Amino acid sequence: MTERDEIRNQMVWSRLISAIEEQAQTVIRTAFSQSVRECGDLSAGVFNRRGQMVAQAVTGTPGHVNSMAICIGHFLEAFPIDTMRPGDVFVTNDPWLSVGHYHDVTVVTPAFYRGRAVGLLANTCHIVDMGGRGFGPDARQCYEEGINIPIMHLARGGVVNEDLMGLLRTNVRNATDMEGDFYAMMACNDEGARRLVAMLEEFDLDDIETIGDYIIGRSRDAIRTAIRALPDGRFRHATELDGFDEPIRICAELTVDGDAVHVDYTGSSPASPFGINLVHNFSLAYTAFGVNCIVGPDVPCNAGSLEPITVSAPPGSILNALRPRPVSARHVIGQMLPDVVFGCLAQVVPERVPAEGAGAMWNPMIRGGATAVEPDIAAGAAVLSRDYDVILFNSGGSGGRPAMDGLSTTAFPSGVRTPPVEAVETSFPLLVWRKEYREGSGGPGRCRGGLGQRLEIGGEDGAPFSVAAMFDRTWRAPEGRFGGHEGAPGQVRLKSGRRLKSKGRQSVPYNDRLVLELPGGGGYGDPRQRDPARVAADVADGLISREDAREVYGVVLVADGSVDQDATRSLRAESKRL
Amino acid sequence: MFEGQARIGVDVGGTFTDAVLEVGDRRFTSKVLTTPRDPEQGCMQCIEEMLRHAGLGPDAVGVIVHGTTLATNSIIERKGATTSLLTTEGFRDTLQMGTEGRPDQYDINVTQPEPLVPRRRRITVEERLNSRGEVLVPLTTGKLDAVLPILDAAGTESLAIAFLHSYANPVHERLAREHLSRCRPDWSVSLSCEVSPEFREFERFSTTCANAYVRPLMERYLTAFAAQLRQRGFVCPLLLMLSSGGLTTVEIAKAFPVRLVESGPAGGAIFAQGIAAAHGIEKAVSFDMGGTTAKICLIDDTRAQTSRRFEVARVYRFRRDSGLPLRIPVIEMVEIGAGGGSIAGIDALGRIAVGPQSAGSDPGPACYGRGGRRATVTDANLVMGRIDPEGFAGGRMALTTRDAQDALMADVGQPMSVSLETAAFGVTEIVCENMATAVRVHAIESGKNVDDRTLIAFGGAAPLHACQLARKLGIRRIIVPRHAGVGSAVGFLRAPISYEVVRTFHQRVDAFEAEAVNTVIRDMEDEAKGYVRMAAGPAALSIRRQAYMRYQGQGHEIAVDVPNGRFDASAGAGLQALFDEEYRAVFGRDIGTVAAAEVVAWRVTAGTAPFPDPFSGPFSGPARADASRGAAPAPISRPVLDPAFESPVACAVHDRETLESGFSVSGPAILAEDETSTVVDVRFEAAVLPGGDVELRQRAP
């Protein structure tokens, strides 16, 4: 390879990432589902002829991206690359072949250049409704959770598969949005394919096989080098989660062996009877993300950066559930896996690993209308709304970090954003009465955990509605690290007082409201080592109470809110002696 | 307007204050260091120097157009007023919670921007409207009285009032202002329903707080500047450049200073727009590259692209969603960390990385010899032979090639095991690739093509990279205008007097309420015209209406030009057709058969015509190839590394000032001037156009 070839390869790499970024922008701008358009719940990637992911859009959510990387192999098994024709588009939402539940639909389009398929463009989007019970954990079998699209043509030679679309239209609640999203996903891949071909032309390449090997090789080497810098060993961590109606145990053993990391989940709970189970793809996706965050955050995500990280979980366990187990709300467990991985890595590189956070997002799936609630609640309501389904994305606090506080109400590990309340209320007969910080919820620490939030949601004119609860960490709070305290656990209740379960569909009666209190992140380090000035600032901002400042942080404030230095010193000294 | 009189543009930037004076067919320029304490002093210095050269007195000046980064800097440096926010109960933290997303997926240590108003000064009051503007929970003066002591205790100087759904009905915000202003007359009060009457609460709250935050400072500054001018005998109007590329009066600028944040860069885009108009270029891309950043803007039919959203004070300078969002009319630009001072190195994967960190002017690139040790883009250009070490900045500053070579080898050549030439070439390739990526992504977001455009290159570093960038974008034609160094200030003199009003008013086209829309639009037009009349007097005004539309259920709107005149019962169908057409243009297909459209917001722009460029002549067909008319002094020659070759080749260096209209030359060549050099790659031809602008054309392969 000449010196100029090296420069050119770098140029092509950069161009591929740009192409995929453009592809993602297209779907964001044209999609109908609020989850995609306002919140960025999607991913996009470009794959070589062998189905290896060469580049992905940085807008993606980790659960999508890393699962999508695996699912392309299944498409190529069903439709070998040289049998694909220009204008063909393929689709699936089979949880076990792709991204773990029916809502995440993956669309794949081959790009053609000089008469040959030169690569695949893929994107995955969360479609709000795919039929069945709708998004939620209540099903006992996957068949209740929606309509399964086996890998098949979405378009053949440029003509949309009307048989499939017709079947889908009659099986989902909002056919227009669903169809609009499918078109957006096709447009997105078309754009990516155009960019890919333009790039091949400009650099006079036949395909992306050689350049793909260069990109994948470089990324793999970078991750392997980073892993080699870690001490070898086996590191175990276990955690408990709410589960559906009984606690779930997740046990991980992380092995660093030379330049590879393996995470084994033997000992974890068996599959749940309810829809909070993960397919293996999805467990791998969030595990690899957790490892990459700590080990190689700067390495672009592709087949190379994923290769050195392997995952195993016993078949039939909650992290490797088998058909026909229900899987709809798998994110409530999946989004906790980075914290489990962090629990192992905190023993390896403590200076890089944050405390536990809220983990899974709190996304109430709300359904309104006469059939959304129990018949007696509908009968007792003075007002009933039209039929609607909407999902609201919300984040709790993230864990305190080695040198910084945790982030309040910020998604981690998911990258999904919250929709504006004004946009929600414009489109749906709902009123969000409150959406603000949950004071005192951040776990105390030298670096405080981020705060959760408090939401209060009611129907317009008091109309009843139901919510598919899929929330966690209400029973066991996010843990602190290295002397940091735990964050506040979450809570689900009615405004009138009654506590609701953290999982499953439940009704909010006429004139009542749903109250969600999201967990705060755990603290990092001893709170008595926190800078007293920052404790005073937290009190002034109402993030912690004066009492906690004194009792937990050992900081005494004078009447005007500033730090009483002497009293603080002696209080902290006293607590050390005890 | 202002015929026969001198017109002055003054642009106060972070480092320099640039000014230009045009009178008849003469143009004078001036550049001094910005005087941050009293920016008006630097302005006065420039203005008086130019008047002296022109031999004119203050009474000969017809208008002074001013733009400033003062508002932006006070946000970035957090030097604004002690601002409080009064908002709806339950939404105290909207300003800080933002989108709840992270600007970086993998970075555990990612940080978020601090809000301009900290939680202790965010105060709520019980009130509530729904999305249709109906009152669900009334606001009373009693409730306002109850929050007064809290606002007092917060030390409030400036107050932002932002309630949920106030765009749909301003009643509660107005009541709050009326009552609180009566109680506390010295508070500066900004209402969200006036600053940014659009839905999506986080952005509206953020914009309103930014306005409140900079308002007292901008009021003081503009009052002082206007007083200075009067004192020195200027009787002409003082107009302010808006981020949207229009001009407005001092009074409006004082009320809505947040609209001034991007005035400097907007001036650059208007400058390019004027060049496009003068040469009859239908599709252009403006490329303004300086020491730290490159700014890129698409121009169609001599109209710079506009947007309603801008981010200021980004934590990660060039990363989306890492700054404070402002929903104001702006000229839509991408700004990326690519400039002459951008620092080059090797990343964790052995790839060349350039920017966004910049060596700035102090210590500056290694070749400045001021202690900078890191390799920069300027060092790479020097090593490639594109810059004359003796002729930099008009010869006022000698560059040391040796330092540039050492830095490039240490930071790029050795770690990658490549030669000095390859390292230098690689750095320029990467910086151009970064810019090309930004242009392409920007274009796709607007559904536009790039390769059919003319590149208009200005700013100190753009002419060096224009050919290299153009090739990456498939662009075949480039214009390098005269006076590119003070482009923004020149742009101020091309800007129309105009004002935009944007308002959220939802309308489904299949249930279109023509009369209600007519009322809203009429109010908006009256408001916009009123503001323009204050500066433009009786001049003829044009009105442009746009509807921000989407298919019902979609989240993002696109702007659709809609006809003036009253809407009637059939207007809904007409809007649907216009939208379907625009949607097809942007996304390749429409879905009007399955989905009805809706209007989310309306935009009305009232304005005068732009001022034409009196210098650049009309473009008259392809440049002639005969160099005989341009009898310039014989060029000198030096070796330059052209992207097409692996080693330097002899290259003619011409002094641009001596070249006359009609001169042409084939690359490789360099047209050198005091502030920059135009690099003509081997695949390009250069010609000097009437008026002095340089045109570069890529030769057919």
In tens, the pLDDT along A237-264 reads 999 999 998 999 999 999 999 999 999 9
Residue A300 lies in a domain: no
Question: Sorting pLDDT into bands at 50, 70 and 90, what band is B616?
Answer: low
With contacts defined as CB-CB under 8 Å, which chain A residues touch B199? 420, 422-423, 426
Residue A339 lies in a domain: no
Q: Is the pLDDT score of B620 beyond 80?
A: no
Within this chain, do residues A544 and A442 fall inside the same structural domain, yes or no?
Answer: no
Closest CA to B112 of A58, A411, A355: A411
**B199/A191 touch (CB, cutoff 8 Å), yes or no:** no
Tokens 């959510």 belong to: A61
Which residue of A60, A180, A218 is in closest CB contact with B591? A180
**B422/A7 touch (CB, cutoff 8 Å), yes or no:** yes
Residue A60 lies in a domain: yes
* pTM across the whole model: 0.91
Residue A234 vs residue A19, higher pLDDT: A234
pLDDT at residue B537, as a whole number: 81
With contacts defined as CB-CB under 8 Å, which chain B residues touch A404? 109, 111
The Cα–Cα gap between B673 and B395 comes to: 10
CB pairs under 8 A between A and B: 206
With contacts defined as CB-CB under 8 Å, which chain B residues touch A30? 554, 587
Within this chain, do residues A561 and A460 fall inside the same structural domain, yes or no?
Answer: no
Within this chain, do residues A508 and A368 fall inside the same structural domain, yes or no?
Answer: yes
The last residue of a domain, from among A221, A246, A265: A221
The distance of A273 to chain B (nearest Cα, Å) reads 32
Residue A426 lies in a domain: yes
CA dihedral (B430, B434, B435, B440) in degrees, to 10, reads 130
Which residue of A187, A289, A292 is in closest CB contact with B587? A187
pLDDT at residue B625, as a whole number: 35
**A354/B108 touch (CB, cutoff 8 Å), yes or no:** yes
**B553/A393 touch (CB, cutoff 8 Å), yes or no:** no
**A421/B91 touch (CB, cutoff 8 Å), yes or no:** yes
The Cα–Cα gap between B272 and B284 comes to: 8
Which range in A51-55, B100-104, B352-356, B531-535 is most confidently predicted, on average pLDDT? A51-55
ipTM: 0.93
Question: Sorting pLDDT into bands at 50, 70 and 90, what band is A209?
Answer: very high
pLDDT at residue B16, as a whole number: 75
Number of structural domains found in chain A: 3
The Cα–Cα gap between B122 and B108 comes to: 28
- Find the mean pLDDT for residues A499-518: 97
Within this chain, do residues A200 and A82 fall inside the same structural domain, yes or no?
Answer: yes
Which residue of B96, B102, B444 is in closest CB contact with A22? B444
Within this chain, do residues A393 and A477 fall inside the same structural domain, yes or no?
Answer: yes
Q: Is the pLDDT score of B477 beyond 60?
A: yes
The distance of A256 to chain B (nearest Cα, Å) reads 20
- Find the mean pLDDT for residues B270-281: 92
**B119/A541 touch (CB, cutoff 8 Å), yes or no:** yes
pLDDT at residue A128, as a whole number: 85
A289 and A276 Cβ atoms separated by less than 8 Å: no
- Find the mean pLDDT for residues A414-438: 93
Please give the structure tokens belonging to residue B542. 């044009």
With contacts defined as CB-CB under 8 Å, which chain B residues touch A42? none
pLDDT at residue A59, as a whole number: 66
Residue A277 lies in a domain: no
| DSSP 8-state assignment for residue B221 | H
pLDDT at residue A372, as a whole number: 95
Residue A278 lies in a domain: no
Within this chain, do residues A458 and A544 fall inside the same structural domain, yes or no?
Answer: no
Provide the phi-psi class of B107: left if phi over 0, else alpha when psi is between -120 and 50, else beta: beta
With contacts defined as CB-CB under 8 Å, which chain A residues touch B99? 417-418
Question: Sorting pLDDT into bands at 50, 70 and 90, what band is B3?
Answer: low
A532 and A568 Cβ atoms separated by less than 8 Å: yes
Residue A136 lies in a domain: yes
Q: Which of B93, B549, B586 best tests the A interface by mutation, with the highest count of A CBs <10 A?
A: B93
Within this chain, do residues A387 and A536 fall inside the same structural domain, yes or no?
Answer: no
A210 contacts: CB under 8 Å, gap ≥ 6 = none
With contacts defined as CB-CB under 8 Å, which chain B residues touch A176? 553, 594-595
**B108/A177 touch (CB, cutoff 8 Å), yes or no:** no
The last residue of a domain, from among A205, A221, A237: A221
The last residue of a domain, from among A203, A221, A239: A221
Which residue of A34, A353, A416 is in closest CB contact with B555? A34
SS3 call for B158: strand
| DSSP 8-state assignment for residue A428 | S
A361 and A35 Cβ atoms separated by less than 8 Å: no
**A37/B419 touch (CB, cutoff 8 Å), yes or no:** no
B518 interfacial to chain A (CB closer than 8 Å): no
Residues 522-551 of B with CB under 8 A from A: 551
B164 interfacial to chain A (CB closer than 8 Å): yes
Q: Which of A426, A427, A460 best tests the B interface by mutation, with the highest count of B CBs <10 A?
A: A426
Within this chain, do residues A514 and A442 fall inside the same structural domain, yes or no?
Answer: yes
Within this chain, do residues A493 and A541 fall inside the same structural domain, yes or no?
Answer: no
Within this chain, do residues A440 and A560 fall inside the same structural domain, yes or no?
Answer: no
Question: Sorting pLDDT into bands at 50, 70 and 90, what band is B622?
Answer: very low
**B108/A543 touch (CB, cutoff 8 Å), yes or no:** no
Give the residue from chain B lying closest to A61, CA to CA.
Answer: B105
pLDDT at residue B31, as a whole number: 79
Within this chain, do residues A425 and A489 fall inside the same structural domain, yes or no?
Answer: yes
Residues 91-150 of B with CB under 8 A from A: 91-94, 96-97, 99-102, 105-112, 118-120, 128, 130-131, 136
Residue A305 lies in a domain: no
Q: Is the pLDDT score of B627 beyond 50?
A: no
The distance of A276 to chain B (nearest Cα, Å) reads 24
**Continuous segment of H or E residues that includes residue A239:** strand A233-241
The distance of A298 to chain B (nearest Cα, Å) reads 7
| DSSP 8-state assignment for residue A519 | P
With contacts defined as CB-CB under 8 Å, which chain B residues touch A221? 349
Question: What's the domain range around A92?
Answer: 3-221
The Cα–Cα gap between A81 and A78 comes to: 9
Domains and CATH numbers, chain B: 6-75+219-260 (3.30.420.40), 81-209 (3.40.1360), 498-607 (3.30.1490), 627-698 (no CATH)
B349 interfacial to chain A (CB closer than 8 Å): yes
Q: Is the pLDDT score of A191 beyond 50?
A: yes
- Find the mean pLDDT for residues B314-337: 81
With contacts defined as CB-CB under 8 Å, which chain A residues touch B202? 420
The distance of A203 to chain B (nearest Cα, Å) reads 10
Within this chain, do residues A174 and A216 fall inside the same structural domain, yes or no?
Answer: yes
With contacts defined as CB-CB under 8 Å, which chain A residues touch B351? 10, 13, 218
Amino acid identity, position B386 = R
Other CB atoms closer than 10 Å to residue B344's CB: what's the count?
Answer: 26
The distance of A162 to chain B (nearest Cα, Å) reads 14
With contacts defined as CB-CB under 8 Å, which chain A residues touch B441? 18, 21-22, 25
B352 and B346 Cβ atoms separated by less than 8 Å: yes
